[in-house]
Amino acid sequence: MTGTTRIGDRDLRIGLNPFMGLMGVAPAEPGLHITAPPRRVGGNIDCKELGRGSSLFLPIEVEGALFSIGDGHAAQGDGEVSGTAIEAPMDVVDVTLTVHEDMSLNMPRAWTPSGWVTFGFDEDLNEATATALDEMVLLIQRLYDVKKTEATALASTVVDLRITQVVNGVKGVHAVLSHGAIR
């Protein structure tokens, strides 16, 4: 799905950027878990960066993972500020699931066509921001074999922090490291 959609009866058009808002696996805690709040194992992340060609990496905490996907969006701004996007049913979603035995994660991480993305989720926006940034600093350390102080300095010059969402019970922040920003 590409193109635009018309809004209301006026000639206003919105560019479409389809993605699945909900992608996650089961947390290790016992009990029933709703998918609405994003958390360390994914959930209703609602990040428009996770469109076609992206890979989302999730920490696996239970046997079989129990992957869930849904909440199709045709378009959404960062933050999902009014609590909704252009919600869209998705008749076909092409997803490949791969277990990376050698990967250890604390939080979701993504590779997208435009760059690497790390996430932070918390009721407190400052805590969500700190988590997203900490995860990005760890990623930069691994990708470029640098110490934490160097990774933090690099992040300060090339990483963008964006509000993923302010809905679903927690705040979400994603840190973006564009491909080629560090050479």
Q: What's the CATH code, domain 4-178?
A: 3.10.28.20
* Cα dihedral 76→180→140→49 (10° resolution): 10
Query: Residue ranges per domain, the chain?
Result: 4-178
In this predicted structure, the answer to whether residue 11 has a pLDDT above a threshold of 70 is: yes
**pLDDT score at 12:** 84
Residues 54 and 111 sit within 8 Å (Cβ to Cβ): yes
Contact 148, 157 (CB under 8 A): no
Please write the tens of the pLDDT for every residue from 100-114. Answer: 999 999 999 999 999
pLDDT, mean of residues 29-46: 93
pLDDT of residue 180: 97
- The pLDDT assigned to 2 comes to 59
Query: How far does the chain reach from its first CA to its final CA, in angstroms?
Result: 34
pLDDT, tens only, 150-165: 999 999 999 999 999 9
Using the predicted structure, report yes or no on whether residue 1 has a pLDDT greater than 70.
no
Percent of the chain having pLDDT more than 90?
82
Rg (Cα) of the chain, in Å, rounded? 17
Residue 146 has pLDDT above 80, yes or no: yes
Q: Give the residue-averaged pLDDT of 48-58.
A: 97
- In the predicted model, what is the mean pLDDT of residues 68-97? 91
- Put simply, whether the predicted model's pTM sits higher than 0.85 gets the answer yes
Element (H, E) at 153: helix 148-158
The mean of the pLDDT values for the chain is 93
